[in-house]
């Protein structure tokens, strides 16, 4: 597509957008009576307008039914997590039995690593990305210490080369081969939170499996954003949050994936809870745990219904679209943002280094921009002007135009406000 930095061009693209009607299904924050340019769906997605209805339904059922809501609510609470499986499975390329809505992201990663980080002899290394989200780094280090290791001895980080921002795939593959039979677990973020780089999860998974390691992916910035096919890629486990691209609200209930080949193994190490016990005998209150033959075996407790209702509301909107539709628009929006940044940099003699790969295959909705010679003051001016973006030290603005609610005119308006802030 040939882009133009003009309001007329942006409005024409919006008129032709097959997803244009979805913007009206979200609340857009305002500042001084004007809609903001909201570009931080990679941090917290906007509220779908149908969320209030879904929460009110659960409140009414609680009010009118009490405990009987577990069986007779509009969406009965006992199997409430099951109302999510089909939608989540489509988003991560899994069988419905391989996913479950539960917990929080880091909590889920810990539960999964109890099962899949099982060091034995010299096979004790964990391979992760350098500058992973800190919670992942803390989780990996603490798992290593729980097994009696010094984390610095067994947690191996792979990072960009000197002077680069992106981790090269060939370097990841070389490190996997170098570690070989010492590698117990590969656990990386599918999309790097800082740069927005999308890793080749399929190729990296195959390489790690070839040397005998378990493979897990943190999909916090991938879920609802990029293509994921966990089952076909033979990934062992994955976990995600849902408050970013899935628009499920702050601290929303997360989810996890466990490949079906690991289901039903009563001898697998696992932190066990009542809700992971097989349905048939759960209410007989047996003394011995019998795992469900699905990813639900990793559940500990029953579903937090009020916290999950917003996720169901948002997933209904996802179910009205296809991944291909969302991906096509995400590529166009991020490419237009890239174009506008380049145009403004040239016009204003500014140095904006886009550290997210410019190759579409290696990025999702997010662009991360290094503000050489600008700093926090420019970001603060943008925020004051109604551009809601995200700052990361030392000098990076992260922006993510999201296909369900962002528009081309949003990108044009961002450009106008950026030019004004540069004056």
> For the domain bounded by 55-319, which CATH number is listed?
3.40.640.10
Enter the pTM of the model.
0.96
Domain 7-47+322-422 has CATH 3.90.1150.10: yes
Q: What is the pLDDT of residue 372?
A: 86
Q: What are the pLDDT digits (tens) for 4-21?
A: 999 999 999 999 999 999
**pLDDT < 50: residue spans in the chain:** none
Residue 317: per-residue pLDDT: 97
Closest to 203 in 3D by CA, of 165, 240, 225, 177 = 177
Letter string b/e over residues 48-82, b meaning 16 or more CB atoms within 10 A of that residue's CB: bebbeebbebbeebeeebeeebbeebebbbeebbe
Q: What is the pLDDT of residue 20?
A: 96
CA 363 to chain centre: 13
Position 98 scores a pLDDT of 98
Q: What is the pLDDT of residues 142-189, one digit of tens each?
A: 999 999 999 999 999 999 999 999 999 999 999 999 999 999 999 999
Which of 381, 390, 405, 383 is closest to 333 using CA atoms? 405
**pLDDT for position 131:** 86
What is the pLDDT, as a whole number, of residue 418?
Answer: 96
Q: Where in the chain is the domain with CATH 3.40.640.10?
A: 55-319
Q: Where in the chain is the domain with CATH 3.90.1150.10?
A: 7-47+322-422
- How many Cβ atoms are within 10 Å of 96's Cβ, its own excluded? 16
Give the C-alpha separation, 104 to 32, whole Å. Answer: 35
Task: Report how far residue 367's alpha carbon sits from residue 359's, in angstroms, rounded to the nearest whole number.
Answer: 12
Task: Give the per-residue pLDDT at 192.
Answer: 96
Chain Cα centroid distance, residue 181: 30
Asked whether the beta carbons of 193 and 130 are under 8 A apart, the reply is no
């Amino acid at each position: 597509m040939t882009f133009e930095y003009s309001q007329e061009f942006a409005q024409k693209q919006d008129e032709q957008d097959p997803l244009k009607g979805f913007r009206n299904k979200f609340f857009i924050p305002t500042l001084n009576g004007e809609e903001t340019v909201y570009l931080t769906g990679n941090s917290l997605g906007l509220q779908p307008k149908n969320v209030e209805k879904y929460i009110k339904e659960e409140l009414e059922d609680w009010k009118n039914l009490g405990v009987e809501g577990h069986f007779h609510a509009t969406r009965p609470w006992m199997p409430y997590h099951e109302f999510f499986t089909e939608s989540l499975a489509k988003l991560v390329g899994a069988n419905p039995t391989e996913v479950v809505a539960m917990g929080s992201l880091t909590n889920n990663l810990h539960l999964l690593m109890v099962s899949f980080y099982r060091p034995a002899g010299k096979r004790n290394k964990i391979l992760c990305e350098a500058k992973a989200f800190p919670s992942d780094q803390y989780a990996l280090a603490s798992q290593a210490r729980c097994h009696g290791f010094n984390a610095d001895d067994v947690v191996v980080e792979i990072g960009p080369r000197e002077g680069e921002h992106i981790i090269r795939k060939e370097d990841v593959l070389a490190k996997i081969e170098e570690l070989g039979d010492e590698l117990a677990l590969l656990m990386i973020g599918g999309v790097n939170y800082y740069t927005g780089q999308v890793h080749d999860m399929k190729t990296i998974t195959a390489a790690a499996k070839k040397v005998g390691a378990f493979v897990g992916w943190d999909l916090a910035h991938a879920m609802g954003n990029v293509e994921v096919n966990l089952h076909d890629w033979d990934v062992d486990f994955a976990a995600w949050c849902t408050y970013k691209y899935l628009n499920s609200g702050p601290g929303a209930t997360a989810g996890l994936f466990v490949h079906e080949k690991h289901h039903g193994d009563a001898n697998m190490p696992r932190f066990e809870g009542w809700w992971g016990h097989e349905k048939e005998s759960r209410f007989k209150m047996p003394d011995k745990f019998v795992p469900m033959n699905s990813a639900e075996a990793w559940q500990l407790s029953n579903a937090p219904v009020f916290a999950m209702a917003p996720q169901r509301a948002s997933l209904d909107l996802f179910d009205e679209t296809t991944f291909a539709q969302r991906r096509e628009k995400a590529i166009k929006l991020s490419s237009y943002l890239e174009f506008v940044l380049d145009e403004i940099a040239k016009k204003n003699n500014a140095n904006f280094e886009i550290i997210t790969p410019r190759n579409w295959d290696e990025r999702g909705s997010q662009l991360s921009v290094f503000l050489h010679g600008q700093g926090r003051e420019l970001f603060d001016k943008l925020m004051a002007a109604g551009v809601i973006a995200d700052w990361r030290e030392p000098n990076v603005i992260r922006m993510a135009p999201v296909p369900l609610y962002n528009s081309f005119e949003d990108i044009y308006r961002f450009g106008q406000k950026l030019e004004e802030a540069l004056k």
